[in-house]
Chain A
């Protein structure tokens, strides 16, 4: 009897509304669906791009035409019709490129406020500078003055292309080439905006930098591009968040993120991904096909990826680190939660090229309902990478017996001085743990949240404090009643 109740409870709560699923009613300037060289030219023109940018896009597009989508991931979806996607949509009110927040359309400000991302600099997130991306364009960037004062560039990508062409030319595509993979090539051809960050030598960024991606218009694909360059002896912590309205059709989000850490620089990159996951039958939701890679180019540099993946119908992403500089450090901390019919194939690649390079991988996968959750990882130690070290830990937690957890770790070690460790575990949410908590008076919902948070703890503690709290809540909302 108790088991039946729990099951009903599960179904009810998993059917719960996605909290960020509203649509902002705003007039948009949008292309017709379809992709061609002309569309790319039009896009480039719309953004007043210099010639080099258009050329770069076109060669990526021509290469993309020769490619086919990857099929090796443990995910299933109907083929995407790339002619049926809208490649550019921007709020009309954004056309005059507002110079400051007072010029930004109040509807847009309201949207971000509703999402818990107040763009008002005096508001709650006062320690965080935000770049707000709405469909294909950046609509506001906060704290620009404060950052400019210390020489930090934090601006929409389209602005960087015009204002800092030398930096863009030097680093764009240097970590993820236009030919890297099908979705990266598509992104290179059609990316519309994103964030650009440059931290000068010796500067420790005084604020958390953050981008919030919002998909609003129907049928659009969001293709953003983020490039972060941390010059010698600098430090930056960056966080991205995202959400989208609930729609019965799938929408594509194919982003590329490139990170470059020079000598002794440190980049901490955190993601809280809450794209619309689709309904409980698996209808709708975002296809989150993303390429993220960083290079520890300089000696003693460090890149750390932390990701909390709770949304999207399908997540396909492998934030990776190329450890080129000697003594470089790469870290990957991940919580991927899939419920209902969500699918996630995610993990990382740690490529050890420099001497004494170290990497850590901590992956926590949580599956409920009919979801499929895959960890896929590669640890590669090149022949010249003496004394490289890696530690990997992949844990899976399952709710019920309809979901799946899969682990595909790959090791390629070409240097005998390397030390590589891998640990993995799969467990079901433990009935005895639940009983124990409840016997002490803790409700089932609280008990689940507590056990899952305990399971994710080593990852959550890597997040900036404000966001760790958010992540806790997000996991809780997504799992309420998830014991069958």
Chain B
């Protein structure tokens, strides 16, 4: 699915990622953990094509295609979805209209027929219901005046509609109460399949109780310094990052 080789990334003049290597196979869930400032969000942003993440060295392939050469919207059409930590508000743009435009743009690029407004309404109502969002939510402007929990659920709603191949979720658990966390996790889990992969970026082990990863990687100062299974996340929780970074980083 995703193959990252020696990825080095600058933001401005500062090098943030110092050579990331990562292989994600179809169907796998990988968690990227690390303390603040370790480069987790930069990695997520680089995959989505954020303009300020400047790749200086390295390769990234998505399903055999050079991801770094693609525009932001082409990456989305190829199945990359970035669930954001702080989704931006777009006043005056209807949530349903926004999402239908997105879906149809992606379908068009993949030579699929566009979905009409009536079919779409049924689809989005079903998915919103699954996440515990009421219908009024669908006619509000994108993220405008949403609570933190609503924004995160909206991200997951979009993901359920767009059905991406690679789900990159950047601290999708931050600021969520238990109910919201469960709803978000249920959304992600419902999409897990042998054709899709998940890259979960998080500070905390808590999320991994709900979305159980196949692999856990510790990112520190722009490098993956330890990889393991879910036990590694439990160790982080028990011992803290300091101990693990001391053991693994020189």
B221 to chain A, nearest CB (A): 26
Q: B92 and A442: CB pair below 8 A?
A: no
Q: B101 and A439: CB pair below 8 A?
A: no
**Can you list 16 residue pairs at the A/B interface with Cβ under 8 Å?**
A432-B88, A437-B102, A439-B73, A439-B82, A440-B102, A440-B162, A441-B77, A441-B109, A441-B162, A443-B73, A446-B105, A450-B90, A450-B93, A450-B98, A451-B93, A454-B91
Given contacts A439-B48, A441-B76, A450-B93, contact A433 B88 (CB under 8 A): yes
A451 partner residues in chain B, CB cutoff 8 A: 90, 93
Which residues of chain B in 68-107 are interfacial with respect to chain A, using CB atoms and an 8 Å cutoff? 71-73, 75-77, 81-82, 84, 87-88, 90-93, 98-99, 101-103, 105-106
Whether A240 is near chain B, meaning CB under 8 Å from some CB there, is: no
The proximity string for B residues 165-186 relative to A, scoring 1 for CB distances below 8 Å and 0 otherwise, is: 0000000000000000000000
Q: How far is the CA of A432 from the CA of B89 in the complex (A)?
A: 9
B85 to chain A, nearest CB (A): 12
A444 to chain B, nearest CB (A): 7
Q: B88 and A439: CB pair below 8 A?
A: no
Given contacts A444-B73, A446-B101, A454-B141, contact A436 B90 (CB under 8 A): yes
Q: A454 and B93: CB pair below 8 A?
A: yes
Q: B101 and A436: CB pair below 8 A?
A: no
A219 partner residues in chain B, CB cutoff 8 A: none
The proximity string for B residues 4-43 relative to A, scoring 1 for CB distances below 8 Å and 0 otherwise, is: 0000000000000000000000000000000000000000
Q: Is the interface on chain A under 10, 10 to 19, 20 to 34, or 35 or more residues?
A: 20 to 34
Q: B158 and A455: CB pair below 8 A?
A: no
A458 partner residues in chain B, CB cutoff 8 A: 92
A36 partner residues in chain B, CB cutoff 8 A: none
B235 partner residues in chain A, CB cutoff 8 A: none
A420 to chain B, nearest CB (A): 24
Whether A92 is near chain B, meaning CB under 8 Å from some CB there, is: no
B39 to chain A, nearest CB (A): 19
Q: How far is the CA of A442 from the CA of B77 in the complex (A)?
A: 9
Q: How far is the CA of A451 from the CA of B99 in the complex (A)?
A: 14
B51 partner residues in chain A, CB cutoff 8 A: 2-3, 431, 435
Which partner residue on chain B sits nearest A454 by CB separation? B92
A435 partner residues in chain B, CB cutoff 8 A: 48, 50-51, 72, 88
Whether A456 is near chain B, meaning CB under 8 Å from some CB there, is: yes
Q: B102 and A436: CB pair below 8 A?
A: no
The proximity string for B residues 195-215 relative to A, scoring 1 for CB distances below 8 Å and 0 otherwise, is: 000000000000000000000
A443 partner residues in chain B, CB cutoff 8 A: 73, 105
Q: How far is the CA of A455 from the CA of B88 in the complex (A)?
A: 15
Which partner residue on chain A sits nearest B88 by CB separation? A432
Which residues of chain A in 418-453 are interfacial with respect to chain B, using CB atoms and an 8 Å cutoff? 430-433, 435-444, 446, 450-451, 453
Given contacts A446-B101, A450-B98, A450-B101, contact A438 B76 (CB under 8 A): yes
Q: B92 and A439: CB pair below 8 A?
A: no
Q: How far is the CA of A394 from the CA of B131 in the complex (A)?
A: 37
Whether A457 is near chain B, meaning CB under 8 Å from some CB there, is: yes
Q: How far is the CA of A441 from the CA of B105 in the complex (A)?
A: 6
Q: Is the interface on chain B under 10, 10 to 19, 20 to 34, or 35 or more residues?
A: 20 to 34
B99 partner residues in chain A, CB cutoff 8 A: 440
B150 to chain A, nearest CB (A): 16
Query: Residues on A close to B: CB < 8 A?
Result: 2-3, 430-433, 435-444, 446, 450-451, 453-458
A3 partner residues in chain B, CB cutoff 8 A: 51
A453 partner residues in chain B, CB cutoff 8 A: 92-93
Q: How far is the CA of A58 from the CA of B105 in the complex (A)?
A: 61
Besides A431-B51, A438-B71, A444-B73, 13 more A-B contacts (Cβ < 8 Å) are: A435-B72, A436-B88, A437-B98, A439-B81, A440-B98, A441-B73, A441-B77, A441-B103, A442-B98, A443-B105, A453-B93, A455-B91, A457-B92
Q: A438 and B72: CB pair below 8 A?
A: yes
A365 to chain B, nearest CB (A): 15
Count chain A CB atoms within 10 A of each CB in B49, B51, B92, B99 and give the residue with the most.
B92
A431 partner residues in chain B, CB cutoff 8 A: 51
A446 partner residues in chain B, CB cutoff 8 A: 101, 105
Q: How far is the CA of A456 from the CA of B71 in the complex (A)?
A: 28
Q: How far is the CA of A426 from the CA of B109 in the complex (A)?
A: 35
Q: A454 and B90: CB pair below 8 A?
A: yes
Which partner residue on chain A sits nearest B79 by CB separation? A441
A440 partner residues in chain B, CB cutoff 8 A: 76, 98-99, 102, 158, 162
Given contacts A436-B87, A454-B92, A455-B92, contact A442 B141 (CB under 8 A): no
B88 partner residues in chain A, CB cutoff 8 A: 430, 432-433, 435-436
Which partner residue on chain B sits nearest A2 by CB separation? B51
B160 to chain A, nearest CB (A): 13
Which partner residue on chain B sits nearest A452 by CB separation? B92
Which partner residue on chain B sits nearest A6 by CB separation? B51
Which partner residue on chain A sits nearest B92 by CB separation? A454
Q: How far is the CA of A409 from the CA of B142 in the complex (A)?
A: 30
Q: How far is the CA of A349 from the CA of B73 in the complex (A)?
A: 45
A2 partner residues in chain B, CB cutoff 8 A: 51, 71
A305 to chain B, nearest CB (A): 21
B76: which of A432, A433, A439, A450 is its contact (CB, 8 Å)? A439
B112 to chain A, nearest CB (A): 12
Q: B105 and A442: CB pair below 8 A?
A: yes
B49 partner residues in chain A, CB cutoff 8 A: 439
A137 to chain B, nearest CB (A): 41
B49 to chain A, nearest CB (A): 8
A461 to chain B, nearest CB (A): 10
Closest 10 CB pairs of A and B: A454-B92, A441-B76, A454-B93, A457-B92, A440-B102, A441-B106, A438-B72, A432-B88, A441-B105, A438-B73
B127 to chain A, nearest CB (A): 15
Which partner residue on chain A sits nearest B93 by CB separation? A454
B93 partner residues in chain A, CB cutoff 8 A: 450-451, 453-454
Q: How far is the CA of A440 from the CA of B48 in the complex (A)?
A: 10
Q: A441 and B102: CB pair below 8 A?
A: yes
Which partner residue on chain A sits nearest B75 by CB separation? A439
Count chain A CB atoms within 10 A of each CB in B81, B91, B158 and give the residue with the most.
B91
Q: How far is the CA of A2 from the CA of B71 in the complex (A)?
A: 9
Q: How far is the CA of A454 from the CA of B49 in the complex (A)?
A: 25
The proximity string for B residues 39-66 relative to A, scoring 1 for CB distances below 8 Å and 0 otherwise, is: 0000000001111000000000000000
Q: B72 and A439: CB pair below 8 A?
A: yes
Q: How far is the CA of A439 from the CA of B48 in the complex (A)?
A: 7
A393 to chain B, nearest CB (A): 12
B141 partner residues in chain A, CB cutoff 8 A: 454
B101 partner residues in chain A, CB cutoff 8 A: 442, 446, 450
B153 to chain A, nearest CB (A): 16
